[in-house]
Amino acid sequence: MLSKQELAGYIDHTQLKPVATYEDIEKLCSEAKEYGFYSVCVNSCYVKYAVEKLAGSNVKVAATVGFPLGTASTGAKAFEAAEAIRAGASEIDMVMNVGLLKSGDYFAVREDMEAVVKAAKQINPDAKVKVILEMCYLNPSEKVTACQLARDAGADFVKTSTGFGPGGATVEDVELMKKLVGDSMGVKAAGGIRDLKTTMAMIEAGATRIGASAGVAIILELDRSKNG
């Protein structure tokens, strides 16, 4: 079993609700500092505020781009990514355009991803870009293609889900993604991860990052399991 510090290092502590307030983001950042989460993941309008609240800590800020549908224009997604990095984000979680993938326009899908990668890394070469594939919408062949396109576009991670679709992360999807990208990219499991058992199953399947709004509950459950 991982230590509390090790497990916290996997977690992107997340608050992406459309009704999230400054107070909610402040709480998110306070919890991230207290528990030592890897990052907070917020909508791009809150990046600057989160950076201010996390000043002096090691917690990073990840910003969503084209969230949650992925259907904004490529230029708009690239601009949003650039603005988020300028505001202090060190990671971008962009949503793939699922409709373009299903249309078979793989060039446009890759171009969309590449534009965001380029926009982020031009400002901060160390910035990480995660591509949310929204696996619940994809058939087996499309899942393979989506992972290949993200890798070819220069992204740093593939990610299972937004958490806003009809399905979240599954062990089977994480295993497939890890098999497809190997050690060349990270794999982020997100969507519906609310307890320690699910979290550990995702890590054992190959996830190198966990996106969860229940990060505190997961860490407290680990504490209880060790002390019980």
Residue 206 carries which side chain, given as an amino acid letter? G
Half-sphere exposure for 191 (CA within 13 Å, toward CB): 23
Q: Which helix (H) or strand (E) holds 166?
A: none
Contact 146, 96 (CB under 8 A): yes
- pLDDT value, residue 227: 81
pLDDT the model gives residue 1:
82
| CA–CA dist 80, 94 (Å, integer) | 10
* pLDDT for residue 10: 98
pLDDT score, position 209: 98
**Out of 3.20.20.70, 3.40.50.10610, 1.25.40.10, 3.40.50.460, which CATH number does the structure's domain 4-227 have?**
3.20.20.70
Q: DSSP assignment of 105-157, as one string? A: -HHHHHHHHHHHHHHHHHH-TT-EEEEE--GGG--HHHHHHHHHHHHHTT-SE
The two three-digit tokens of residue 60, written as one number: 């990073």
* Peptide bond just before 68 cis, omega within 30 deg: yes
Q: What are the domain boundaries of the chain?
A: 4-227
3-class DSSP state of 94? strand
- Cα angle for residues 130, 136, 139 (degrees, 5° grid): 105
> 213 vs 73, 160, 194, CA distance in Å?
28, 15, 8
For the stretch 93-129, pLDDT in tens is: 999 999 999 999 999 999 999 999 999 999 999 999 9
pLDDT for 205 equals 98
Question: Catalytic amino acids?
Answer: 93, 159, 188
> Is pTM beyond 0.85 here?
yes
In whole angstroms, give the CA distance from residue 10 to residue 141: 29
Residues in Cβ contact with 145 at an 8 Å cutoff, skipping those fewer than 6 apart: 101, 106
Which residues of the chain are modeled with pLDDT < 50? none
